[in-house]
Structure 1
Amino acid sequence: MGARLRFVLDQLGQIVDPDLASAAVDLAHGVIATAPSGCTVDLIVPAGSEATIRGVGEVRTLGLARRELAASWQLGIAPGVGGGMIHSPSLFAPLVKHDRVHDDDQTTVTLWDLRAWDAPELLSKNQVSWQRGMLRRAVKHADAVVVPSHAVAARLSELARLGDRVRVIAGAPPRGFVVPDDAGRRRNALSLPDEYVVLTGSESSLRDGFRGAVAAAVDAVVLDAPDGAEPRYVEIASAAGLPERRAHVRGALAVEDRAAVLAGASVFAATGDFAGWPWRAVEAMALGVPVVAIDTGSHRDVVADGGTLVAADEIAGAIEQAAGPAAERLRILASDRSRAFSWASSGERLWGLHADL
């Protein structure tokens, strides 16, 4: 009888974090596509979820909705889940005592970033508290914690005593992440100008990115801004020399809108320095957009030679170069680097992890 990998999908009915929700479904497809002969993938989902993923075996729908399940699992109460090989593509997992040696029960989780520790201002207080609490449970009960890069692994080792239970498996761009046919219409609907750079980062890191937009003589579009952050971000842009009318602050966008925005950018600049998977940088590379990023461990691991990595105080000049003479070369490098990542590869390595355990 082949192995059954039980995969937790918590955001099918309620999207809390769009990046995690998308990555979870994409990784599930990768795991299904690379299942060894005779092995199957089952799903564990909260009440109120509708699973429509092809190729899955059994779907275990639990008795609690997502919100109640999050509170229950944080307390270590996981009735009705059952055992076996379980992987959650986030910290949302039944992290309870189990016996891997005698019962072949395994529980692994993926931790995509360490914002709750390194950049808590980007999350709500409840999210920070919940993630920190669930990592403590992972330290006690997870058989492995998967992280997307070696830099995240190194930082995690400073925060938690996990020893050799930390494993590195990279992510990938969203499946089918392409420029939509109506990209121009979508950009117009978002009131974006013809020429702009796209920035991501925190309040403390965006100033140099805005200066880069000034140097390149284009507008700046900030993606993934927290709710209520627009007035503060516009003030930072103004202090950096970018007029208010040329700073366009947007929150989380739908995948198609995000692809349209990134595809229209002269440059994508990642100014944040927390340890984590750089979602937007990977998406920008997939679309062949010139990438500039702060030289951090995470960006060295993931962006590598697919973009320009510079110190924070050099990012303005790098944006100017990337929007001008270096643009074509950086487009080619970005496209080439993006081919290093695929969800099939991630799924295959996850199967390998559970086989090792």
Structure 2
Amino acid sequence: MGARLRVVLDQLVHVVDADQASAAVDLAIGLVATAPSGCTVDAIVPAGAEVTVTGVSDVRTLNLGRRELAAAWQLGIAPGVGGGLIHSPSLMAPLVRHDRVHDNDQTTVTVWDLQAWDAPELLPKSAVAWQRAMLKRAVKHADAVVVPSHAVAERLSEVAKLRGRVRVIAGAAPRGFVTPRDAEARRAALSMPGEYVVLTGTAASLDAGFRGAVAAGVDAVVLDAPEGAEPRLAELASAAGLPERRAHVRGVLSPEDRAAVLAGAAAFAATSPVAGWPWRAVEAMTLGTPVVAIDSGAHQDVIADGGLLVPEDGIADALAAASREGAPRLRVLATDRSRAFSWASSAERVWGLHADL
């Protein structure tokens, strides 16, 4: 007898987290492509959303928009959703009481990172409160909680008592994430310098990256900077010895612009130790960009031998080496490691998870 796996696609209209929104669609495409014989993929979406994923069998459009739905589900109010096998690629899920044994109802959710617990100052207070509340509901009602790495699983076990319900299923780079043909034009439109390294991290962790740019004699480009952070980061760069004119701060870019920027970088450095899926590091490896990262559990799990993992005080030297003499070797290692991740593989494991439940 076939199964119908119902996937929550909540960010088709209102995007709260661009990475998770992209991952949800990519996973849905993978689930359709890898569906076992006789099984189908359905979608659960907020009001006003249109599903463009080819092969989705049925779409349940709810009466509430995404914001209203998030508030209702936080309170455990989920009218009109129905039962069955429900998988959410985020914490956004109808986490209510159900009977897995007699009705074959299942609800699984995904936790990509633990910023709301380990670095709450990086998120709006409302987002922190919502994520913490939804994890509490997951503890009560989720049949499984998916995390992207063993390090996140270990940290999650310290935050919530899930009693063996945690499952590790990795993510991947966005589907079709390649260097765009107009990469040079995109870099010019973004005012990218000729030689640069790309950095991600928090204001507290980027100092080592700026010092690495100084040691390498190149500019630094910061990606995913919060709105209004540019003056503060420019000051930090200057304090690290990098003139403000050589510190280029950018917010959230489109996947095409991001690919153009990462492909043109001499190296990439992930400076934050917060437990989570390292989106940009995986993208950099996919493009063959040399990767340097702070030595944390999440980076050990995901980057492994695909880059240089160093303590915080070693990032500057490692970044300088990665952008110079170590670049050819690191490009090969990054590309090889990136092949370990694909949405098809992730989708197969999601099917396996629901079969096991």
The normalised TM-score by structure 2 is 0.99
State the AA in 2 paired with 1:276: G
2:293 maps to 1:293: yes
| Cα-to-partner distance string for 1:102-121 (whole Å, 9 max, x where unaligned) | 11000000111111111222
Secondary structure of the residue that 1:198 maps to in structure 2?
strand
User: What is the match of residue 333 of structure 2?
Assistant: 333
2:93 maps to 1:87: no
State the AA in 2 paired with 1:59: V
User: What is the match of residue 208 of structure 2?
Assistant: 208
Whole-Å Cα distance in 1 between the matches of residues 206 and 34 of structure 2?
A: 40
Whole-Å Cα distance in 2 between the matches of residues 218 and 229 of structure 1?
A: 21
> Where in structure 2 are there 5+ consecutive unaligned residues?
none
Deviation for aligned residue 1:87: 0.3
User: What is the match of residue 159 of structure 1?
Assistant: 159
| Cα-to-partner distance string for 1:232-281 (whole Å, 9 max, x where unaligned) | 11111111000000000000000100000000000000000000000000
Whole-Å Cα distance in 2 between the matches of residues 58 and 295 of structure 1?
A: 44
Pairing of 1:130-169 with structure 2 (within 5 A):
130-169=130-169
User: What is the match of residue 225 of structure 1?
Assistant: 225
Secondary structure of the residue that 2:164 maps to in structure 1?
helix
User: What is the match of residue 35 of structure 1?
Assistant: 35
2:343 maps to 1:346: no
2:58 maps to 1:51: no
2:257 maps to 1:257: yes
User: What is the match of residue 244 of structure 2?
Assistant: 244
Secondary structure of the residue that 1:309 maps to in structure 2?
strand
State the AA in 2 paired with 1:300: Q
Secondary structure of the residue that 1:324 maps to in structure 2?
coil
Deviation for aligned residue 1:90: 0.1
Pairing of 1:116-135 with structure 2 (within 5 A):
116-135=116-135
User: What is the match of residue 197 of structure 2?
Assistant: 197
State the AA in 2 paired with 1:175: R
User: What is the match of residue 235 of structure 1?
Assistant: 235
Whole-Å Cα distance in 2 between the matches of residues 50 and 13 of structure 1?
A: 8
Secondary structure of the residue that 1:164 maps to in structure 2?
coil
Whole-Å Cα distance in 2 between the matches of residues 183 and 293 of structure 1?
A: 25
2:8 maps to 1:4: no
Whole-Å Cα distance in 2 between the matches of residues 74 and 174 of structure 1?
A: 28
State the AA in 2 paired with 1:185: A
Whole-Å Cα distance in 2 between the matches of residues 218 and 133 of structure 1?
A: 44
User: What is the match of residue 67 of structure 1?
Assistant: 67
| Cα-to-partner distance string for 1:119-144 (whole Å, 9 max, x where unaligned) | 22221111111111100100010000
Secondary structure of the residue that 1:199 maps to in structure 2?
strand
Secondary structure of the residue that 2:253 maps to in structure 1?
coil
State the AA in 1 paired with 2:120: P
Secondary structure of the residue that 2:167 maps to in structure 1?
strand
User: What is the match of residue 310 of structure 1?
Assistant: 310
Whole-Å Cα distance in 2 between the matches of residues 272 and 308 of structure 1?
A: 14
State the AA in 2 paired with 1:285: M
| Cα-to-partner distance string for 1:2-54 (whole Å, 9 max, x where unaligned) | 10000000011111111000000001111111100000000000001011110
Whole-Å Cα distance in 2 between the matches of residues 123 and 150 of structure 1?
A: 24
User: What is the match of residue 175 of structure 1?
Assistant: 175
> Where in structure 1 are there 5+ consecutive unaligned residues?
none
Whole-Å Cα distance in 2 between the matches of residues 333 and 129 of structure 1?
A: 40
Secondary structure of the residue that 2:87 maps to in structure 1?
strand
Whole-Å Cα distance in 1 between the matches of residues 275 and 263 of structure 2?
A: 25
Displaced runs of 4 or more, over 4 A: none
Task: Report the more deviating stretch, 117-126 or 236-245.
Answer: 117-126
Deviation for aligned residue 1:167: 0.3
Aligned residues: 357
The normalised TM-score by structure 1 is 0.99
User: What is the match of residue 324 of structure 2?
Assistant: 324
Whole-Å Cα distance in 2 between the matches of residues 120 and 203 of structure 1?
A: 14
The RMSD of aligned alpha carbons is 0.6
Deviation for aligned residue 1:163: 1.5
State the AA in 1 paired with 2:229: A
Secondary structure of the residue that 1:245 maps to in structure 2?
helix
User: What is the match of residue 97 of structure 2?
Assistant: 97
